[in-house]
Amino acid sequence: MDSQRTKRMLESVLGVSVTSGNRIDVLKNGDQIFPAMLEAIDAAERSIDFLTFIYWNGEIGQEVAAHLATKAQEGLRVRVLLDAAGAWELDTDVVDGMDSAGCDVRWFRPIKARGALQANNRTHRKLLVCDETLAFTGGVGIADEWTGDARGEGEWRDTHFRVTGPAVAGLRGAFFDNWAETGSDLVDEVDQFPELPQPGELDVQVIKGVAEAGNSDVWNLFRVLIDCAEERIRVTTAYFTPDEEILRRLLNASERGVSVEVLVPGPHADKRLVQVASEASFRELLDAGVQICTFQPSMLHAKVLTVDRAVCVVGSANMNQRSTEHDDEVCLVIFDEAMTALLDGHMDEDLQRAEPIDLDEWEKRGLLQRIEEKAVKVIDGLL
């Protein structure tokens, strides 16, 4: 892959400039992710913007809420935006506690206030921005399932990213994009819009996938990178139900000699219906030479795409039709061999705890499994 040409191509296709001088720290699993996020919240001096799809009841949810509440009581502007579908089970006590402390807590697209079509379009973004200069994004939700180090069934495997540098502005834009729907002011006297430093050497593009008619920029991003691949494509994703266009491009890549590896959840998948929809494409992929492995110890929730050891895509988007057609997402495209090597190393570690799908064995799957695969294809566009 010609990284410079790919960079220019993505800038033209997506209309988003690549920023330079960024630093990104990779946080693997809850043992690294939550302490880093809580530390950033505690260190904030002026403002905190927090957006998440998943916020469930549990100890880590109470801890995050307590830290946000404390900063609001200290006089910081703390804005909290929760997706009304992903966080609908959250105890009112947790929300009321943040609200009474001074946090401005809002719900994104309340279900009862929306028609069926809009109710299906959610924000799947995960964002934390502190003092306009430090941001976090990735796959992690606020729930006890994400705590730990993926050592067993109760500790999900995920990756999150701490970002400093000019790319923070793009991540703030993704927050503003969803916050605008609440009817609240976008900016006030707290906002300073500081000139962002360049603490690192990474070139990063921030891509916002927006739920709208047709496919999103995330879809176009996947298409371009798969088509540009010359050597290797590696996909780690919690939910793998690509549409026919993305699937065809993966098959074409494998058939032209590109090594294509896909790592998905195994026995601890949290959504069996989505898993069956994913499995419906396995034979076609395996026939084309694609390598598919299933993560065994726990639910795999990470979302990482690497291409040709040169470019990686991380963030909230899975390689599924929800992420490319129905949900608001945010992705970082990182043009760096060292970062790509680090994430490829994480995949290598995960593959040591995964099981490959063998084509001959897959052909022996039972009649019920085959019926389920055909049945779920009717609705896989919503998964």
**According to the model, what pLDDT value does residue 148 have?**
98
CA pair distance 101, 75, nearest whole angstrom: 10
Q: Taking residues 224-240, what's their average pLDDT?
A: 98
CA pair distance 114, 109, nearest whole angstrom: 7
**According to the model, what pLDDT value does residue 344 have?**
98
**According to the model, what pLDDT value does residue 116 have?**
52
Smallest CA-to-CA distance from 312 within 222, 201, 197, 208 is with: 222
Q: Using one digit for the tens of pLDDT, what is the confidence trace for 197-224?
A: 999 999 999 999 886 666 789 999 999 9
Q: Using one digit for the tens of pLDDT, what is the confidence trace for 115-143?
A: 555 678 899 999 999 999 999 999 999 99
Cross-strand bridge partners of residue 333: 205, 313
Give yes or no for residue 113 having a pLDDT over 60. Answer: no
pLDDT band at 232 (very low <50, low <70, confident <90, very high): very high
Q: Using one digit for the tens of pLDDT, what is the confidence trace for 285-305?
A: 999 999 999 999 999 999 999
Q: Taking residues 316-329, what's their average pLDDT?
A: 94
**Residue with the larger pLDDT of the pair 234 and 273:** 234
CA angle 189, 195, 200 (to 5 degrees): 135
Smallest CA-to-CA distance from 320 within 124, 107, 94 is with: 124
% of the chain beyond a pLDDT of 70: 95
